[in-house]
Amino acid sequence: MSQGDAGAGVDESPEEGPADVVEHVSGTGVPIRGNDIDTDQIIPARFLKVVTFDGLGQFAFFDQRFTDDDEEKPHPMNEDRFRDASVMVTNKNFGCGSSREHAPQALMRWGIDALVGESFAEIFAGNCLALGVPTVTADEATVEAIQDWVDEHPDGDIDVDVADETVTYGDETVDVTVDDAQRKALVEGVWDTTALMASNADATRATAESLPYTSGVLNARSDGGNAASDGGDVRSDGGGA
């Protein structure tokens, strides 16, 4: 993933956030053609039982890529020329269906750093953002032209400029659309909510302590006691369970 300085190509130059700034993503492409490709195609439900996301990339598009006997089917992700791709080029309503976060996790762990498509399901795009993976959109003719170019130039780089909302491939630079909230989060490095919370740990704790239903728990734990230390056992009034 190619990253730039925070604020480059933006009207203002905000302070860099706790996560990596994602202004550009560059790499070779892989065309995945078809409308309404849902998350069950991206990662079949039987692979959702994993305890962690590690190794999930090998199961991306598994049923489209392999037979029941694990023999390879014709599929772009099985072709040697696309195996190192990091930019996926898709069509309409990609990532629809179940909201499973395993879908973008599988694509990212296969090697995808950005997606260019006609449109994306809203929850899928949000799950991609949570991983720092841009989902940029363009019209049908533009996307199909990029897919055709990738087919003809599998070793050619695609540059996705999140900040300036352009995609460059070969000698062509085309305008794309990046959702405003997504663009701000990626360019300012605030897309990782876990890192954002950790970087504001003091403010988070202060807010929690101001809430009557959490302050007692936090204080008890900080004193080395347990959550019930200020009130004794819940059955101390002589009652039963």
pLDDT tens digits for 131-185? 999 999 999 999 999 999 999 999 999 999 999 999 999 999 999 999 998 999 9
Q: At what angle do helices 180-188 and 122-129 cross, to 10 degrees?
A: 10
Cβ 199 vs Cβ 18: under 8 Å: yes
- The pLDDT of residue 207 is 72
157-161/135-137 β-pairing: unpaired
- The pTM of this model reads 0.75
pLDDT in tens, 12-30: 334 455 558 889 999 999 9
Nearest to 100 by CA among 134, 70, 130, 132: 130
- The pLDDT of residue 82 is 98
Would the pLDDT of 110 be above 60? yes
Show the domains of the chain with their CATH numbers. Answer: 24-191 (3.20.19.10), 200-241 (no CATH)
Sign for the CA dihedral angle at 180, 182, 82, 89 comes to negative
Q: Quick one: pLDDT band at residue 2, thresholds 50, 70, 90?
A: very low
- The pLDDT of residue 55 is 86
Direct distance between the N- and C-terminal alpha carbons of the chain, in angstroms, rounded to an integer = 56
More confident residue, 61 or 191: 61
